[in-house]
């Protein structure tokens, strides 16, 4: 947990992380904790929503949708119960921000939940936490218990007349359950598969009632907005992407970890914070926001990492999971590993993602094994084209990002893998495997899965 | 809704929108899915998961099109099976959009990478949506050179339905059908990604760990009659559905096949004829496929007014009885020398039959028992033969429990019900009725298509379904229904008590469109038909009588009842008799003025020597209220002629057996419970088998009586010319069934069972030992478990099994505890090990002895 020492501004989200027993209620209360909720509860729900809108807070789960606008979609009547669901199913490869946040500062999330629930007239909040994250889950359970005993949760919170129940629910290990509608299905006890939209969750979400699903970091940011005000919040980051953000930097750097910095920070700045590339081996490629965002290379060191900057440079901000790879790493190999992940995690609901990832993984495995051909590269790109934008949910789009961007920037590496399989008479004797590659469907590839 | 001409100022009616598809402007109703709008324009967008009767899924992604809204193209192609039309939308299908065309080809290629190339041996080959659409919209070549996914196969979903997971394209039609339409979610998706597959709780490895607690359950299930090895599942719900065959039909590939048809035939070898199901009174449309004179399979036909696109498994799979080895194909005459039935020529047999019948007629008379499975043409022939050739009203098709009160009910509430065009209750009404009350009627067991409509209406939130019965059967749950529990035999009081005990139901029944559905079991409960009549008169709810057998409603209209002539004319009405006499060319006054005897009356009369002969159609003596009396009577009868398909319980008593044609080999018309005529033509031509009406016509000629029923067409023509009587009396006043005939509370209270006794509740299960279900082991394997149901209090001390007995015999079955009134035991009516009429001689509402039983 290397909280940044060189951060341009005082840390906001991570400021308590290094305090002793930062996860306990008394620590949190000593460090400004549960002061925002008192202010929020004395305002009207509409005022709270407006404040979040004014601050320009955007969802930290990857899509960057304006949070205040999303809250505003909730119906104003309470004909059906309203639900607030926190997406704590942090599973995007490379992403490690919500889990440390819940480990170090679970009360920040809980306080944010109370404020958000109040703003959306919800009286039951669910935190859907990734099942593998046992330690933070226990911290969260304990924190909810503490908060309840202290009167921050339950009936008539702080004498405001507002009631809120909070349920922490453990997922069962599926990447797809990070997709908000699949998460809702899973929370209801069904197989986690994305739902048809519309209806959107704000109209018919959990148990067919109005629901808002928000990311952990988004909600944990809310108390600071209430306390600091929207002007203060907008002082950080850029015009369209204001506020602080936790960048999780991993891979070949000297000090991997979580670095809080204003949105728009560049990789060059992040690398400075984390002590540069490990052992000085030069950077080759990196992801700005997890494996689902198209790769960047050393050319992109100065791209501002906010929603607009990443998009303009041809990628996405995603979860700001910065995975850094140096020159020792083979791009096709890394792409194959990622593709295997998506093949494993595809939920199976729609054809392109289910069948496409299955196919892509096999082609990449074959190529990395030295049994690919130049045609395979075209096939990969065309299959990617048939998956991206054709799948039921964004998992399919995500699955093709590393392949498309990997080939875009490092086509030579893929070609090199196919070198030995060029149909040249001179090279025929070089390897017995080079003879295979029949395009007949009936023929089993020689030595496949050997 | 018509295709708009190519101009921009098209009128858009209220509730419609205007959009453009492939450059053509079209007006479409709000809420219509793009894929349907395009189809109306003549553009078929390929699809797999889409089905008009299932909720949209958007899973297969085969139907992608390009969409532009408010002048802005949507960034991704959209699934036309999930997107509804909107005003000003611009849609480009594969016809005009390269993006859509490529997307469709891409999805098709992806679907095929893991699909086995076993079309030449696949049941679906030749009628396969995947095959057809791959030819129409796919690439000619695949780029896939790697390893296909394989699974062991086939996987039995049930004894009938087999799953080939390699062929499956995971469109989820089968799982959505089971969940949404049938309400039997016995199959579901398991696993994820490329390992995702259809499965049951038996096939789900993940559930095995949790299965130990269910072991005892599984053990008791094994005692049932089900043929499948594991009637109860390891971890989840056991397989149970009466509608599983539909999943095979809607499967867009050959992933689901039936044990019955698998590998038996090729679609292009089959000849298809439209047909009508002969099993229950719903009259579902079917398609019968035959090859070289043999029926190979039956499929659901499409009829939005009746069965939509669904049929039950009995209708689909139970047809081999007609090709059974023991089928009677030649006339049989009992030899005077040996006393055995011997094959004879038609001439000889008809002569023997006519001589015997004429002698009996001229003696004490002949009674006619046509049975409840007749077409209206055959029923009319029996009706006319009784009156013209045998000069009697002793005719009754009710081969089941019956009563004089029911006769009045049929005459006043059913015979003159105008049918769908005359304000009668229809299938469509069941979808919109604010309230549907089922009395003495078990929809899923007795008329599955009715059950599906009730469920559809209830699932849409339109229909409140209430059942008056003994326990909450699966149909109560699946129609989101409510049970008003009463003692067997107490239904009449329950109906009379609705105003007091269920005022909300009473109110609902008064609202427009409310219906009351009555089963044939009502005849077994004294006072119930009258109480129902009273309820209908009081609340204005419309009554529909839904018998089990396909021919009952038509037979009522054809007059095979002791009190009714054809067209619902009362026998006691002199004008009606005169009209019929004129039409039939009889001398005035020929028809007796007094009603004839009902089934039990005829049997008693034979025993007391007041009747000499019997002419019997498709009747099983064990279906009659008292099989012992029936056997005694048949034994005593002077002369018995049996018109039969297969040797039956009547055959040993028959002096002459005349073979008749099964439905596949004749034409005819069933009248379903709605009163809707369901005509069908000959499927298997030229087999030489004759319909009952033809046999009776010839027999009539031998007896100097002209029936003019030599063909079904002639018979129906004759009946229609007779029509219904002039000056139709209003419903409910035609016969003497008045609301006060049996006053409320006057019906005999159900007898009170003593110690060690219980009241018997019973009805038949859809799949049981019925005579039309022989030779279908795979179907029999999908029957419901045969168990006795009791309340916890009643079952106390009985142990695992209960023995139910009367002075005639006993039945021992495993006990299942359900929430039902104390002092009641429910048994299936005609299932393996539980043939109540035959064994106990008792029916619904009888007092029986119960004791702990050993098995």
CATH number of B416-547: 3.40.228.10
CATH number of B260-321: 2.20.25.90
Contact residues on chain B for A444, CB-CB shorter than 8 A: 147
Q: How far apart are CA A251 and CA A269, in angstroms?
A: 16
Q: What's the angle, vertex CA B249, arms to CA B248 and CA B253, rounded to 5?
A: 70
Q: What's the angle, vertex CA A47, arms to CA A44 and CA A52, rounded to 5?
A: 135
Which of left, alpha, beta for A224 (phi over 0: left; psi -120 to 50: alpha)?
Answer: alpha
Long-range interactions of A175-178: CB distance < 8 A, separation 24+: A175/A91, A175/A92, A175/A341, A175/A345, A175/A395, A176/A345, A176/A346, A176/A347, A176/A393, A176/A395, A176/B192, A177/A89, A177/A91, A177/A128, A178/A61, A178/A87, A178/A89, A178/A90, A178/A91, A178/A92
Q: Which residues does residue B443 pair with via DSSP β-bridges, in sequence order?
A: none
A432 pLDDT band (50/70/90 cuts)? very low
Contact B61 A392 (CB under 8 A): yes
Choose among A347, A359, A391: nearest Cβ to B192: A347
Q: How far apart are CA B107 and CA B138, in angstroms?
A: 9
Lowest average pLDDT, out of A46-55, A416-425, B63-72, B460-469, goes to A416-425
Contact A351 B60 (CB under 8 A): yes
A428 pLDDT band (50/70/90 cuts)? very low
Contact B106 A379 (CB under 8 A): no
Q: In sequence order, which ranges of B70-202 are alpha helices (DSSP H)?
A: 98-113, 129-137, 173-176
CATH number of B757-853: 2.40.40.20
Asked whether residue A450 is domain-assigned, the answer is: no
H or E, element range at A415: helix A394-418
Contact B113 A355 (CB under 8 A): yes
For residue B286, give how far its alpha carbon lies from the nearest alpha carbon of chain A (Å). Answer: 33
Length of chain A: 450
Contact residues on chain B for A398, CB-CB shorter than 8 A: none
Same domain, A285 and A356: no
Asked whether residue A89 is domain-assigned, the answer is: yes
**SS3 assignment, position A114:** helix
Contact B62 A351 (CB under 8 A): yes
CATH number at A83 reads: 3.40.50.11540
Same domain, A201 and A322: no
pLDDT at B291: 95
- Number of Cβ within 10 Å of residue B435's Cβ equals 22
Contact A358 B103 (CB under 8 A): no
Contact B145 A349 (CB under 8 A): no
Contact B194 A439 (CB under 8 A): no
Same domain, A150 and A179: yes
Which DSSP category does A247 fall into?
A: E
Choose among B106, B141, B146: nearest Cβ to A390: B106
**pLDDT tens digit sequence for B508-558:** 999 999 999 999 999 999 999 999 999 999 999 999 999 999 999 999 999
SS3 content of chain B, % helix, strand, coil (to 5): 35, 20, 50
Choose among A359, A382, A391: nearest Cβ to B146: A359
Contact residues on chain B for A174, CB-CB shorter than 8 A: 192
pLDDT at A106 over 80: yes
A419 pLDDT band (50/70/90 cuts)? confident
Contact residues on chain B for A363, CB-CB shorter than 8 A: 146
Same domain, A146 and A60: yes
- Number of Cβ within 10 Å of residue B586's Cβ equals 17
Q: Is CATH 3.10.20.740 what the domain over B16-110 is classified as, yes or no?
A: yes
**SS3 assignment, position B809:** coil
Chain B residues interacting with chain A (CB cutoff of 8 angstroms): 56-62, 64, 75-77, 82, 102-103, 106-107, 109-111, 113-114, 117, 141-147, 149, 169-170, 188-189, 191-196
Contact A351 B59 (CB under 8 A): yes
pLDDT at B212: 39
Among all residues of chain A, which has the CA nearest to that of B47? A351
Q: Where are the extended beta strands (E) located within B706-846? A: 757-763, 788-790, 801-805, 810-817, 824-828, 830-831, 834-835
Lowest average pLDDT, out of A366-370, A444-448, B551-555, goes to A444-448
Length of chain B: 855
pLDDT at A446: 36
Among all residues of chain A, which has the CA nearest to that of B66? A390
The domain in which residue A388 lies consists of: 331-435
Whether the CB-CB separation of A335 and A262 falls below 8 Å is answered with no
SS (H, E, C) B354-393: HHHHHHHHHCCCEEEECCCCCCHHHHHHHHHHHHHHCCCC
Contact B189 A191 (CB under 8 A): yes
The DSSP code sequence of B23-54 is: TEEEEEETT-BHHHHHHHTT-PPP-SS--TTS
- Total structural domains within chain A: 3
> Which residues of chain B fall below pLDDT 50?
1-2, 4-6, 206-235, 728-736, 739-740
Asked whether residue A382 is domain-assigned, the answer is: yes
Contact residues on chain A for B114, CB-CB shorter than 8 A: 355, 358
For residue A434, give how far its alpha carbon lies from the nearest alpha carbon of chain B (Å). Answer: 15
Contact B111 A438 (CB under 8 A): no
Same domain, A229 and A266: no
Q: How far apart are CA B508 and CA B511, in angstroms?
A: 5
Lowest average pLDDT, out of A3-12, A111-120, B248-257, B630-639, goes to A3-12
Is the omega angle on the peptide bond into residue B396 within 30 degrees of 0, that is, cis? no
Q: What is the CA radius of gyration of chain A?
A: 24
Contact residues on chain B for A191, CB-CB shorter than 8 A: 188-189, 192
Same domain, A404 and A263: no
SS (H, E, C) B594-632: CCCCCHHHHHHHHHCCCCCEEEECCCCHHHCCCHHHHHH
Same domain, A96 and A29: yes
For B414, half-sphere exposure in the C-beta direction (CA atoms, 13 angstrom radius) is 31
Which DSSP category does A58 fall into?
A: B
Same domain, A265 and A337: no
For residue A310, give how far its alpha carbon lies from the nearest alpha carbon of chain B (Å). Answer: 19
Between A and B, how many CB-CB pairs are < 8 A?
A: 123
pLDDT at A17 over 60: yes
Same domain, A275 and A399: no
Contact residues on chain B for A348, CB-CB shorter than 8 A: 170, 189, 191-196
pLDDT at B1: 46
Contact B107 A352 (CB under 8 A): yes
Q: Which two tokens stand for residue A368?
A: 């990395």
Which DSSP category does B80 fall into?
A: T
Which of left, alpha, beta for B489 (phi over 0: left; psi -120 to 50: alpha)?
Answer: left
C-alpha dist (Å) from residue A365 to A145, A330, A442 = 48, 13, 20
Asked whether residue A4 is domain-assigned, the answer is: no
Contacting residues for B72 by C-beta, under 8 A, at least 6 apart: none
Q: How far apart are CA A139 and CA A145, in angstroms?
A: 10
C-alpha dist (Å) from residue B96 to A415, B8, B73 = 36, 20, 14
Q: Is CATH 3.30.70 what the domain over B114-200+239-256 is classified as, yes or no?
A: yes
For residue A56, give how far its alpha carbon lies from the nearest alpha carbon of chain B (Å). Answer: 25
Whether the CB-CB separation of A106 and A30 falls below 8 Å is answered with no
Asked whether residue A395 is domain-assigned, the answer is: yes
**pLDDT tens digit sequence for B461-482:** 999 999 999 999 999 999 999 9
Contact B64 A438 (CB under 8 A): no
For A275, half-sphere exposure in the C-beta direction (CA atoms, 13 angstrom radius) is 12
Whether the CB-CB separation of B54 and B181 falls below 8 Å is answered with yes
Q: How far apart are CA A9 and CA A273, in angstroms?
A: 13
Contact A351 B170 (CB under 8 A): yes
pLDDT at B224: 36
For residue B89, give how far its alpha carbon lies from the nearest alpha carbon of chain A (Å). Answer: 17
Closest CA to B690 of B358, B350, B280, B275: B350
Contact B194 A345 (CB under 8 A): no
Same domain, A107 and A185: yes
Residue B221 main-chain phi, psi, to 5 deg: -65, -35
Q: Which two tokens stand for residue A425?
A: 């008479």
Same domain, A144 and A109: yes
Same domain, A160 and A38: yes
pLDDT at B204: 67
Question: To the nearest whole number, what is the mean pLDDT of chain A?
Answer: 92
Which among B64, B74, B189, B194 is the top mutation candidate for probing chain A, defined by the most A β-carbons within 10 Å of its own β-carbon? B194
Among A291, A307, A326, identify where a domain stops.
A326
Closest CA to A272 of A261, A284, A287, A288: A261
Contact residues on chain B for A390, CB-CB shorter than 8 A: 61, 64, 76-77, 103, 106-107
pLDDT at B326: 96
Which among B50, B110, B113 is the top mutation candidate for probing chain A, defined by the most A β-carbons within 10 Å of its own β-carbon? B110
- What are the domain boundaries of chain B? 16-110, 114-200+239-256, 260-321, 343-400+553-722, 416-547, 757-853
Q: Is CATH 3.40.50.740 what the domain over B343-400+553-722 is classified as, yes or no?
A: yes
Contact B194 A449 (CB under 8 A): no
CATH number at A419 reads: 1.20.1440.230
Asked whether residue A448 is domain-assigned, the answer is: no
A212 pLDDT band (50/70/90 cuts)? very high
Model pTM? 0.92
Residue A127 main-chain phi, psi, to 5 deg: -110, 110
Asked whether residue A5 is domain-assigned, the answer is: no
Which among A355, A357, A397, A445 is the top mutation candidate for probing chain B, defined by the most B β-carbons within 10 Å of its own β-carbon? A355
Among all residues of chain B, which has the CA nearest to that of A438? B145
Q: How far apart are CA B194 and CA B185, in angstroms?
A: 22
CATH number at A297 reads: 3.10.20.600
Asked whether residue A12 is domain-assigned, the answer is: no
Among A211, A234, A257, identify where a domain stops.
A234
């Amino acid at each position: 947990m290397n909280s940044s020492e060189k951060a341009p501004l005082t840390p906001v989200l991570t400021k308590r992380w290094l305090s002793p027993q930062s996860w306990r209620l008394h620590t949190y209360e000593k460090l400004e904790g549960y002061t925002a909720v008192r202010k929020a509860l004395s305002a009207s729900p509409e005022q709270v929503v407006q404040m979040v809108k004014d601050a320009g807070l955007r969802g930290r789960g990857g899509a960057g949708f304006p949070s205040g606008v999303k809250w505003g979609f909730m119906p104003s009547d309470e004909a059906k119960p309203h639900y607030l669901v926190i997406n704590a199913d942090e599973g995007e490869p490379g992403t490690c921000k919500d889990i440390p946040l819940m480990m170090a500062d679970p009360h920040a999330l809980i306080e944010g939940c109370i404020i958000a629930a109040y703003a959306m007239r919800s009286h039951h909040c669910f935190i859907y936490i990734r099942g593998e994250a046992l330690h933070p889950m226990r911290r969260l359970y304990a924190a909810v218990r503490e908060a309840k005993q202290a009167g921050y949760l339950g009936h008539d919170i702080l004498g405001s007349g507002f009631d809120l129940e909070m349920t922490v629910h453990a997922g069962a290990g599926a990447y797809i359950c990070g997709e908000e509608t699949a998460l809702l299905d899973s929370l209801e006890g069904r197989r986690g598969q994305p739902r048809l939209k519309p209806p959107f969750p704000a109209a018919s979400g959990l148990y067919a009632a109005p629901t808002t699903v928000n990311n952990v970091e988004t909600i944990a940011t809310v108390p600071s907005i209430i306390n600091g005000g929207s002007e203060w919040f907008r002082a950080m980051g850029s015009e369209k992407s204001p506020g602080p953000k936790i960048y999780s930097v991993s891979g070949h750097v000297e000090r991997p970890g979580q670095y809080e910095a204003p949105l728009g920070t560049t990789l060059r700045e992040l690398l400075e914070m984390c002590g540069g590339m490990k052992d000085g081996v030069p950077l080759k490629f990196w992801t700005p926001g997890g494996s689902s965002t198209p790769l960047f290379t050393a050319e992109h060191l100065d791209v501002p990492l906010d929603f607009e900057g990443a998009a303009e440079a041809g990628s996405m901000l995603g979860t700001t999971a910065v995975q850094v790879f140096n020159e020792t790493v083979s791009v096709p190999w890394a792409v194959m590993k990622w593709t295997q992940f998506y093949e494993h995690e595809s939920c199976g609901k729609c054809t392109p993602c289910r069948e496409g990832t299955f196919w892509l993984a096999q082609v990449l495995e074959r190529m990395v094994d030295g049994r690919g051909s130049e045609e395979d590269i075209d096939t990969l790109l065309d299959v990617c084209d048939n998956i991206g934008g054709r799948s039921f949910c964004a998992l399919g789009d995500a699955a093709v990002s590393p392949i498309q961007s990997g080939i875009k920037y490092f086509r030579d590496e893929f070609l090199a893998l196919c070198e030995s399989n060029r149909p040249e008479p001179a090279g025929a004797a070089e390897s017995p495997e080079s003879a295979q590659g029949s395009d007949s469907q009936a023929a089993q590839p020689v030595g496949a899965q050997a | 809704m018509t295709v708009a001409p190519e101009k921009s100022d098209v009128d858009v009616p209220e509730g419609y929108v205007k959009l453009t598809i492939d450059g053509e402007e079209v007006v479409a109703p709000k809420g219509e899915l793009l894929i349907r709008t395009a189809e109306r324009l003549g553009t078929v967008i390929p699809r797999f998961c889409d089905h008009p009767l299932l909720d949209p899924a958007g899973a297969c992604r085969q139907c992608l099109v390009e969409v532009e809204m408010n002048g802005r193209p949507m960034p991704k192609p959209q699934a036309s099976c999930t997107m509804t039309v909107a005003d000003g939308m611009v849609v480009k299908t594969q016809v005009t959009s390269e993006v859509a065309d490529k997307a469709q080809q891409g999805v098709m290629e992806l679907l095929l990478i893991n699909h086995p190339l076993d079309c030449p041996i696949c049941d679906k080959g030749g009628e396969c949506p995947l095959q057809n659409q791959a030819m129409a919209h796919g690439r000619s070549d695949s780029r896939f050179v790697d390893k296909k996914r394989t699974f062991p196969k086939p996987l039995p979903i049930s004894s009938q339905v087999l799953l080939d997971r390699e062929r499956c394209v995971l469109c989820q039609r089968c799982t959505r059908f089971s969940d949404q339409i049938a309400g039997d979610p016995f199959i579901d998706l398991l696993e994820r990604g490329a390992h995702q597959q259809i499965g049951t709780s038996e096939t789900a490895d993940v559930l095995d760990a949790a299965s130990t607690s269910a072991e005892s359950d599984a053990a008791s299930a094994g005692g049932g009659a089900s043929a499948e090895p594991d009637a109860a599942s390891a971890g989840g719900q056991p397989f149970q559905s009466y509608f599983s065959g539909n999943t095979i039909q809607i499967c867009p590939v050959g992933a689901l096949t039936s044990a019955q048809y698998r590998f038996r035939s090729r679609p292009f070898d089959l000849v298809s004829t439209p047909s009508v199901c002969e099993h229950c009174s719903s009259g579902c449309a079917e398609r019968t496929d035959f090859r070289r004179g043999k029926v190979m399979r039956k499929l659901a036909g499409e009829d939005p007014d009746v069965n939509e696109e669904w049929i039950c498994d009995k209708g689909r799979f139970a047809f081999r009885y007609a090709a059974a080895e023991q089928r009677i194909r030649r006339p049989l005459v009992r030899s005077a020398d040996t006393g055995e039935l011997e094959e004879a020529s038609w001439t000889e047999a008809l002569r023997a039959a006519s001589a015997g019948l004429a002698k009996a007629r001229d003696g004490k008379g002949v009674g006619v028992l046509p049975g409840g499975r007749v077409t209206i043409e055959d029923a009319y022939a029996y009706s006319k033969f009784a009156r013209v050739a045998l000069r009697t009203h002793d005719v009754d098709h009710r081969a089941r429990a019956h009563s004089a009160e029911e006769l009045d009910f049929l005459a006043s509430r059913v015979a003159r019900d105008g049918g769908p065009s005359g304000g009668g209750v229809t299938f469509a009404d069941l979808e919109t009725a604010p309230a549907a009350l089922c009395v003495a009627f078990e929809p899923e067991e007795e008329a599955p298509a009715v059950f599906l409509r009730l469920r559809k209406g209830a699932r849409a939130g339109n229909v409140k379904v209430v059942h008056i019965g003994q326990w909450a059967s699966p149909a109560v749950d699946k129609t989101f229904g409510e049970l008003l529990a009463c003692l067997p035999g107490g239904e009449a009081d329950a109906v009379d008590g609705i105003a007091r005990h269920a005022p909300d139901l009473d109110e609902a029944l008064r609202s427009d469109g409310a219906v009351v559905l009555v089963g044939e079991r009502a005849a077994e409960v004294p006072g119930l038909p009258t109480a129902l009549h009273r309820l209908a008169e009081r609340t204005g709810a419309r009554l529909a009588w839904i018998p089990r057998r396909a021919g009952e409603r038509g037979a009522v209209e054809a007059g095979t009842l002791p009190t009714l002539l054809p067209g619902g004319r009362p026998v006691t009405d002199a004008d009606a008799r005169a009209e019929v006499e004129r039409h039939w060319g009889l001398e005035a006054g020929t028809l007796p003025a007094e009603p004839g005897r009902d089934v039990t009356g005829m049997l008693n009369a034979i025993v007391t020597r007041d009747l000499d002969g019997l002419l019997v159609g498709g009747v099983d003596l064990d279906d009659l209220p008292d099989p012992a009396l029936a056997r005694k009577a048949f034994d005593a009868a002077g002369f018995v002629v049996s018109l039969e398909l297969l040797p039956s319980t009547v055959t040993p008593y028959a002096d002459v057996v005349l073979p008749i044609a099964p439905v596949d080999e004749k034409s005819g018309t069933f009248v379903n419970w709605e009163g809707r005529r369901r005509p069908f033509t000959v499927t298997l031509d030229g087999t030489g088998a004759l319909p009952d009406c033809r046999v009776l016509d010839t027999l009539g000629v031998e007896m100097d009586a002209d029936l003019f029923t030599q063909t079904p067409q002639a018979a129906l023509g004759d009946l229609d010319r007779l029509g219904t009587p002039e000056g139709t009396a209003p419903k409910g006043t035609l016969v003497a069934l008045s609301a006060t005939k049996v006053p409320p509370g006057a019906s005999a209270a159900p007898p009170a069972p003593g110690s060690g006794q219980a009241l018997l509740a019973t009805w038949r299960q859809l799949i049981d030992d019925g005579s039309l279900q022989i030779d279908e082991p795979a179907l029999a394997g999908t029957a419901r478990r045969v168990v006795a149901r009791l309340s916890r209090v009643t079952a106390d001390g009985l142990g695992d099994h209960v023995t139910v007995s009367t002075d005639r015999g006993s039945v021992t079955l495993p006990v299942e505890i359900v929430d039902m009134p104390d002092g009641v035991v429910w048994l299936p009516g005609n299932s393996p090990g539980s043939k109540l009429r035959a064994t106990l001689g008792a029916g619904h509402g009888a007092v029986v002895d119960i004791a702990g039983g050993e098995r």
